Amino acid sequence: MEYKWTVLSNTTLGGLLASIDGSILLIALPVVFKGLGVDPFVQSNFPILLWLLLGYGVVTATLLVTVGRLSDMFGRARMYNFGFAIFSTGSILLFVEPWSGATGAWALVIFRLVQAVGASFLFANSLALLTDAFPAGERGKAVGVNQIAFIGGSLVGLVIGGILAGVPNIAIGPFVLPTWRLIFLVSVPVGVAGTIWAYRSLRETSTRATGQKIDYYGNLAFAGGLTLLLVGVTYGLLPYGGASTGWGSPWVLGAIAAGAALLVGFVFIEARVPDPMFRLQFFKIRAFAAGASATLLGSLARGGMMLMLVIWFQGIWLPLHGYSFASTPFWAGIMMTPLIAGFLLAGPLSGYLSDKQGARTLATTGMLIGAGAFFSLALLPVDFQYWQVGVLLFANGCGMGMFAAPNASSVMSAVPAQNRGAASGMLTTLQNAGQQMSLAIFFTIVIFGLTSGLGSGATGVLAGAGVPAADQTILGHLISANPTGALFGAFLGENPMKQLLAVAPSIPGWVPLTTNTQNALLEPHFFAATVAPGFGTAISEAFLFAGGLTLVAATISALRGGQYFHTDQPAKAPNPASPSSAPSEPGSAAPTTQATPVAPSPKSL
């Protein structure tokens, strides 16, 4: 196999595995919690839930730039191979961990963080290895396939998680393989095989950035600042005191403030050290600055969408249509397939076309399609017709695919070859950090909207079920007082009404319910019907927010300029008599006779 195809196939495999494991738990968490015997309604277990959901992304977002910078210094293939080995080790530990209960759940959190360290090496080096291996005229196609693995893998993970959640325990003689272990087994054999293959086949093809020093102060400021910021934002989702979220917690506010201060200090450090880890001068290159900024905004808009859709499907729509809470993870995964289909269709095609036409038109059009899909989702009722959401998810997937490959190819081609590891880490960091913050932003919007819309709505639904007036007040208060716990319970495959009916009789003034009324309240559709009005308003606001961000990203993408490839050679004076030396029109692709058009100096940008 020609070496460039070896690089593409191995980095695609690594990216696919790392991305699948980043999202597979979004839908499969109910099976994991049940298998370990962890009660999702116990408030002390909320941090376990959040760290299982978000810890993977927090670690990768924090390490990516540092890893990319180290790869430029010590070798991209070497660091990539090392990351594959760490990722596979974490996968094995997740599969074999022996504990149960909260201890077992925290062990999963720790081993997920080990896995995420390995994933950061894979994420940070894949684009740089590809850009080194492929000539300029073929990078869009190669990056298109790779971006399908990275972004598409996070979508495929949702479907795989949903399918595996519906698989019963497997008996192998006297041994029983629990369903939750299957979820982690997926990446073990492929990860081990990919690690061996990477060590045997990948080699260094780029010139290392020799004579440079590690930016210790910059690394510490960036890692500490981003970690504090993301952890503070994550814990802002937990209830605090009598509030439904933790944004008023002194710890959360302090962590966010300290994280922001460290990141501001990081910018000043990077502007003064001789060998910075985060090369701010890249933002003087218009193609890099526009592509990286559009990536961050697109991730802020897209990252929380998947979690919101999963909650919408699992906690509201499927129970409204008679599906049991135990079966919703499987069907929620199936309902996400149009999003994957759109991405898989548009991703490779747009990458191929970007080699010929440039990135600006394709990437900008993709963002505009995504914005239109978000605004249309905001207009749907909470109890929609599935074909409506299916069409919009397909359109959103097409928009994501049209943007991802051309944009990444444009950004990576715009930087010097010896700094592509750092540039890849910077780009992927912005993408992952945006996704993490997006989860918190979306969930906060939904919780605030749900809290304000639950009171009278819940009371009305309870009255319609024949619940006595005194009990309406008690149950309505319990539902509206902790919407986070209620939604998480539904999200984890548990009927929140079962827990509420266990707590309510201990409250003074409670009137015992008849058996028929109690059975009616425990029907799967009842809780969904109770929270549907408030949730519908809140999710519409979240999608409007996402649509607005995507429109801004489209505008920035349109300002990236025409096709641009960085060259490390000095510029040559053009020959006026040569037709091929005529400048191309802004936004057009580079002439086919010039694989790497001469790059303008930073002063001209």
What is the average per-residue pLDDT within 528-542? 82
Query: What is the Cα–Cα distance from 449 to 308, expressed in whole angstroms?
Result: 13
**pLDDT for res 605:** 37
- In the block, tokens 């639950």 appear at 454
**Token digits for 558?**
């349109």
- Give the least confident one: 91-100, 207-216, 304-313, 399-408: 207-216
Examine the pLDDT at 456 and tell me if it is beyond 60. no
Cβ contacts of 62 within 8 Å, gap of 6 or more: 222, 223, 226, 227, 230
What is the maximum alpha-carbon separation in the chain? 95
Above pLDDT 70, what percent of the chain?
A: 86
Q: Please report which confidence band the pLDDT of residue 600 belongs to, taking 50, 70 and 90 as the band edges.
A: very low
The answer to whether 145 and 12 are in contact (CB under 8 A) is yes
Would you say residue 580 has pLDDT above 50? no
User: Would you state the pLDDT for residue 310?
Assistant: 81
Report whether pLDDT(278) > 90: no
Q: Which of 203-207, 279-283, 412-416, 507-511 is modeled with the greatest confidence?
A: 507-511
State the Cα–Cα distance between residues 471 and 87, nearest whole angstrom: 51
Residue holding tokens 């009722």? 381
For residues 57 and 577, give the distance between their C-alpha atoms in angstroms, rounded to a whole number: 54
Q: How many residues does the chain have?
A: 605
User: What is the spatial distance between Cα 308 and Cα 53, in angstroms, rounded to a whole number?
Assistant: 13
Contact criterion met (CB below 8 Å) for 539 and 383: no
Q: What angle do CA 40, 186, 94 make, to 5 degrees?
A: 55
Asked if 281 and 289 count as a contact pair (C-beta separation under 8 A), the reply is no
Both tokens of 260, joined, read 């922001």
Gap between the Cα atoms of 29 and 45, Å rounded: 13
**Structure confidence at residue 553 (pLDDT):** 94
Task: Give the pLDDT of residue 585.
Answer: 32
Phi and psi dihedrals of 207, rounded to 5? -80, 125
Q: Residue 305 and residue 435: Cα distance in Å, rounded?
A: 9
The 3 state secondary structure assigned to 539-584 is HHHHHHHHHHHHHHHHHHHHCCCCCCCCCCCCCCCCCCCCHHHCCC
Chain-wide mean pLDDT for the chain? 80
Q: Tell me how far CA of residue 360 lies from CA of 281, 287, 349, in angstroms.
A: 22, 9, 15
Tell me how far the alpha carbon of residue 318 is from its chain's centroid. 24
Taking CB atoms within 8 Å and a gap of at least 24, the contacts of 504-512 are: 504/471, 504/474, 504/475, 504/478, 507/474, 509/470, 509/473, 509/474, 510/470, 510/471, 510/474, 511/468, 511/470, 511/471
Q: pLDDT higher for 177 or 602? A: 177
Residue 504: pLDDT over 80: yes
Which amino acid is located at 229 in the chain?
L
Q: How confident is the model at residue 569 (pLDDT cuts 50, 70, 90)?
A: very low
Using CA atoms, how far apart are residues 278 and 267, in angstroms rounded to an integer? 9
At CA 462, angle to CA 456 and CA 468, rounded to 5? Answer: 110
pLDDT at position 549, please? 93
pLDDT number for residue 582 = 35
- The amino acid at residue 96 is V
Helix spans in 75-138 (H): 76-96, 101-133
DSSP structure string for 381-446 = -SS--HHHHHHHHHHHHHHHHHHHHHHHHHHHHTS-GGGHHHHHHHHHHHHHHHHHHHHHHHHHHH
Q: What is the CATH number of domain 3-204+277-449+533-558?
A: 1.20.1250.20
The whole-number pLDDT of residue 590 equals 38
Q: How many CB atoms lie within 10 A of CB 192?
A: 16
The number of C-alpha atoms within 13 Å of 278 and in the hemisphere containing its C-beta is 29
SS3 for 296-360, per residue?
A: HHHHHHHHHHHHHHHHHHHHHHHHHCCCCCCCHHHHHHHHCHHHHHHHHHHHHHHHHHHHHHCCH
Please count the other Cβ atoms lying within 10 Å of the Cβ belonging to residue 601.
Answer: 10
* CB burial of residue 343 (10 Å; 0-12, 13-18, 19+): buried
Least confident segment among 64-78, 101-115, 339-353, 479-493:
479-493
